[in-house]
A and B are shown apart, each in its own frame.
Chain A
Amino acid sequence: SRFTTFDNRKWQTNQVTYRIENYTPDMSVAEVDNSIERALQVWAKVSPLRFTRIYSGTADIMISFGTRNHGDSYPFDGPDGTLAHAFSPGPDIEGDAHFDDDEYFTFSSTRGYNLFLVAAHELGHSLGLSHSNDPGALMYPVYSYTDPSTFSLPRDDVNGIQYIYGPNPDV
């Protein structure tokens, strides 16, 4: 239970929709799309969750970039510090992921903050995971760069998502 939120939030279906509401100027649209898609596949690979992108209306997971006061009760803090946040599963703002656009997000560079890594962490929250105190876990609260091209989900995170949703039935 250490993996879940205090109220054990989870999606009641394994078919989850997402929508990218806007984009950061730091990267191309294709790079943002690719980063988000790969971040979701990190979780799909080890669980029964399947993600479908929609381009209008309200998705389960609404993904957006904003700065300072950006429409919820948790303002961002400018460069560095807090990079992003996300809400556990549920209606409306629940499940959504917000990225602080005062950060410099990157696709593959070690400069700035790698969007794929930050998104994979935040989407873990959008699926119901809380923070891990395992420094090697993706769900550890502090950012650390690892090469996205060789990224493999740490065991602690696999245990967490499978505690909530079970294993991937397709493997």
Chain B
Amino acid sequence: LPISPPTEEDEVLAETYLKRFFNLTEETGPTARRGPSQRSRKVSEMQTFFGLQVTGTLDAETVTMMKKPRCGVPDVQP
């Protein structure tokens, strides 16, 4: 089946989740324009932490993991 793109709601959820638990920050300066976006790198970091397939994109299993009840402490250190 064609993979359905993430919904707008999933995008907002992911942004909040990655900021809160994986130190996603607003992209500024040269890093904003070069290579995979910080957002994609942070999705990959989250997928690696949880042992998911590392795609850098908001696939279904990644969004499902983001919706699970959890502790509010970040998963990566500042």
Contact = CB atoms under 8 A, between A and B. Distances in A.
Interface stretch (B1-9, B24-32, B62-70): B62-70
A5 B77 contact: yes
A171 B49 CA distance: 34
B35 interface: no
Nearest to B16: A77
A141 to B, nearest CB: 5
Nearest to A87: B73
A103 B70 CA distance: 12
Interface residue range, chain B = 10 to 19
Nearest to B17: A81
Contact of A82 (B50, B65, B72, B78): B72
Residue of B21, B68, B70, B78 with most chain A CB atoms under a 10 A cut-off: B70
Contact of B70 (A76, A135, A142): A142
Contact of B75 (A5, A131, A143): A131
B71 interface: yes
Nearest to B74: A131
A5 to B, nearest CB: 7
B73 A85 contact: yes
Given A133-B49, A133-B50, A135-B51, A84 B72 contact: yes
B69 A131 contact: no
Interface residue range, chain A = 20 to 34
A141 B78 contact: no
B51 A74 contact: no
A103 B75 CA distance: 21
Given A86-B71, A121-B71, 12 more contacts: A6-B77, A6-B78, A84-B71, A85-B71, A100-B72, A125-B71, A131-B71, A141-B73, A142-B65, A142-B68, A143-B70, A143-B71
Interface of B: 21, 49-51, 65, 68-75, 77-78
The 6 A-B pairs at the shortest CB distance, nearest first, are namely A85-B72, A6-B77, A82-B72, A143-B69, A142-B68, A142-B70
